[in-house]
Structure 1
Amino acid sequence: MTSAPSTRSRSGSLPLWPLIAAVCLVAVLLWSGSLRAAAPLLNVIASAASEPNFYSSALSGLGLLAGGALAHWLQTRRRAAQGFAQACGSGMWVPMLASALLGVAVSALAWGWTLSPGTWQPLFAPFVSVSPTIVLMFGSDIPTVLTGGVLGGLVTPGLSVLGASVICPRLGLAPVVGVTAGMALAAVLAFTVCRHLPWLPAPLHLRRPPEPAPTTAPQKRGPVWVLRRSLADFSEAQFFGSEWASLGLIAGALITFLLNPAAPAYGSGLLPQILTAQAVAAVVAVTVWRGRWARRPFYPTFVPVVSVAPACVLAYGGSLPSVLAGAVLGAVLSPPLAAAISARLPADFHPFIGNVAAMAVATASIVPALQLLPGI
């Protein structure tokens, strides 16, 4: 869930056109009814892209990938409409995405046995945790991409499944607490393992001299920037952080809802309430913490969008007080917590660990506390 060390190298990046062709081919084949034997796995991979936002929709996931591909195309050509840079500004969006998709495929193959008819497990976890961050930390060469995919797919799902399906039900906590705590623990384990893998180089930010501190005054962030940043935060958990990717993600979820209201959001029928809570959380967080954005290249305002806000909606049935209270409390409390944890991590641990740890702590604290408010 983002905040990577700043890297600008594009060396070793994989070409974009094979990814676009593969996504289009899969979409056409699924639409036509072909690839029936592989359809369950492909559906898991496509849905995984939207799972962090609580949508769980293959169409929404494909919308995210399409929007991300458009943003990448615009950014490589430096078009005026390119929006916020993806992949933490590293230029490694394609290899990062390749590792993330491989991680989900490995997750489904290695941990699919935990599923039974009518059940859900967080097999999407590698997509937004270990797999892409290994690429963002160590580079875009093929061994690193494969390491991220395989290591993320093997390590992350088990701990997230344990947290969401075993520990959280016994403690009466929202499943997202177990999922994000599992991601954090898995990342600590994975990056510890990475220290001992001889084919991985030193982290990118340790191979380059530190960037000079800015000498100009902090840039002001006006209303248009706040709205753009709020929209981009919808896809920040996937390390896209692009307005175009977010538009594709949301559009796919809405189309799925219009076709079948019970399909997205885990069959809850609460997609409109979830989107409302996420929009409120994003706007409030970016508005409250825009001063931090002005002084830093990144600030984790996306954290409540994919944790506290939607978790409160599901926990309390989408009541208006729960939508507003969860969104506002999450927006005010969770970003500084995430930033504080990330700042205290070892130099070779990706800062996203602080973000997912903050998601677990904030959700575990805020969701139960809301029952004390009237009207919840």
Structure 2
Amino acid sequence: MTRTTENFPNPVKSKAWTAVMRCLAGLAVVTVTTALAVVLTALSNAMPQLLPSNESQPYEAYSSIPQFLRWLGSQTTEAQFFKTELGGLGMLLGGWVAHIAWKRGRRWAGFPISYGTGLWPWAVGSALLGLLLSDLAWGWTSIATGTSQPTFVPFVSVSPAVVLVYGAGWSVAVTGAVLGAALTTPIALLAVNFVCHPLGLPAVTGSVTGMWGGALIAFLLARRLPWMPPPGGPFFADRPDEAGQQSVPASASTASSRHGPGWVVRRVLADFTEAPFYGNEIAAVGLIAGTVLAYVLNLLTPVQGSGLLPAVLTAQALTATIGILLYHRRWADAGSYPTFVPVVSVAPATVLAYGPTVQAIVVGAVLGALAGPPLAAQISKRLPPDFHPFIGNVLSMTICTLTIIPLLSILPGFTAVT
């Protein structure tokens, strides 16, 4: 019997079909998010105000323990621009579910939380303690100014990063929390209040400056603290390669080995929780569901009481989708790539700066996806091995927001919101 090429699949056609399916999945994500945004916007006038706003007066957060806990919970999602305790509770519960499912080997666990290191409980514990210390030490700045201040920064920077570099243990977790509150918050406060506000720059620029500035000092100090163990966490040995791709533990990379349409949807969701070092779609579902619920209960609760959640969410989904489709080969080769960078910087900051217009959503998302991830990867690969690569990510956020958002003001249709 004579065999012909018809008996065998064409690898070129197979790859092309997979690429088409990835694009269709990305289009579906953006379409669903846009439809949700349209519905939320249309219903905004009819929504009840059953949930108190987070932005009425910051000093109220320190008037009682329940109010303080609510304020603390809302700050766990401030890096995503949401700032709602329901979103934070959803993210933490989703993270716990994902961690338990990963430990038990469940197929539905999604991307291994905290990159399959098993350090999620220690990382989130250090992050929460760092946030608590930051609020206790620096909360007076919110009371004095009557505005929200970037006391949230330890939660998504030094505190959990120290755990991921040095491993589990109380000495590591507490040290990370203290270094986060003592270093990142004051730098962020100085940058936001004495640089960003006077110059009219996005506040996120100052917040992320506190993250990378504090992290550089923190990891230098950690080398010399006698009670700290030798760096041996998963990110000590796994460094970005020559192409700027950040390696991750094998368990996390394996979960990303098949990059079809389902992977695209899951990866877009997971990028919403990369900032707090979760990187898991279950945690992201909890985050987004809780945030949308908060918006329904009071549209002035999320996104600093601006009412811009629909536009911000659309911009974030669009920039994540573009980045993941554009750099999916980097994901396939290395198991990780910082496509989340514009999700928590350029895309939402553009909407806040220029309003919920189509051009602000699309242009901010596109430029952020093009510039943010490769710049972050290039910076991260040049860091010392005992410096967590998140430093490159947040430095990329600083550079991109400082350049892209002000330059957009010279384009027609971009008018700064007063």
Q: Same fold (TM over 0.5)?
A: yes
State the alpha-carbon separation in 1 of the partners of residues 237 and 312 from structure 2.
43
Alignment of 1:147-186 (within 5 A): 147-186=175-214
- 1:113 equivalenced with 2:140 (yes/no): yes
Q: Which residue of 2 aligns with 1:80?
A: 107
Letter in 1 for 2:70: N
Larger Rg: 2
Aligned residue identity for 1:274: V
In the alignment, does 2:316 pair up with 1:278?
Answer: yes
Q: Is the 8 A contact 1:278 1:304 kept in 2?
A: yes
Contact conserved, 1:41 with 1:105, CA < 8 A, in 2? Answer: no
Q: Describe the superposition over 1:297-345 as per-residue Cα deviations: whole angstroms up to 9, x where unpaired.
A: 2110000000000000000011110000000110111000000000001
Q: Distance in 1 between matches of 2:300 and 2:118?
A: 38
Structure 1: gaps of 5 or more residues:
1-34
Q: Is the 8 Å Cα contact of residues 60 and 253 (structure 1) preserved in structure 2?
A: yes
- TM-score computed with the length of structure 1 as normaliser: 0.86
Q: What CA distance in whole angstroms lies between the structure 2 residues aligned with 1:255 and 1:48?
A: 17
Corresponding letter in the other structure for 2:84: S
Supply the distance in 2 between the matched residues of 1:182 and 1:121 (Cα, whole angstroms): 12
CA contact (8 A) 1:160 1:183 kept: yes
Cα offsets for 1:84-109 (capped at 9, x unmatched): 01112211100110000000000011
Question: 1:179-215 CA distances to partner (integer Å, 9 max, x unpaired)?
Answer: 101110000011111011011112115999879x99x
- Measured in 2, the distance between the counterparts of 1:289 and 1:228 equals 15
Q: Is the 8 A contact 1:44 1:108 kept in 2?
A: no
Kindly provide the amino acid, as one letter, of the partner of residue 206 in structure 2: G
Identity across aligned pairs (percent)? 48
- The yes-or-no answer on 1:63 pairing with 2:101 is no
Structure 2 portions without partners, runs of 5+: 1-61, 240-246
Counterpart CA distance in 1 for 2:63 and 2:113 is 33
From 278, 297, 300, the counterpart of 1:262: 300
Q: Distance in 2 between matches of 1:346 and 1:171?
A: 33
Give yes or no for the alignment of 1:48 onto 2:86: no
State the 1:220 CA deviation. 5.2
Q: Answer yes or no: is the 8 Å Cα contact 1:333–1:362 preserved in 2.
A: yes
1:346 alignment partner, one of 362, 384, 388: 384
Q: Which aligned runs of 4 or more in structure 1 are off by greater than 6 angstroms? A: 206-211
Q: Which amino acid aligns with 2:121?
A: V
- Any conservation in 2 of the 1:96–1:132 contact (CA below 8 Å)? yes
Change in CA separation of 1:207 and 1:336 when aligned onto 2, cut-off 3 Å: closer
Shift of 1:361: 0.4
Tell me: CA distance 1:174–1:41, structure 2 relative to 1, closer, same or farther (3 Å).
same
- State the AA in 2 paired with 1:133: A
Q: Which residue of 2 aligns with 1:6?
A: none
- The one-letter code sitting in structure 1 at the alignment partner of 2:346 is V
Counterpart residue number, 1:131: 159
Secondary structure of 1:221's partner?
A: coil
Contact 1:345 1:351 in 2 (8 A): yes
- Give the secondary-structure state (helix, strand or coil) at the position aligned to 2:109: coil
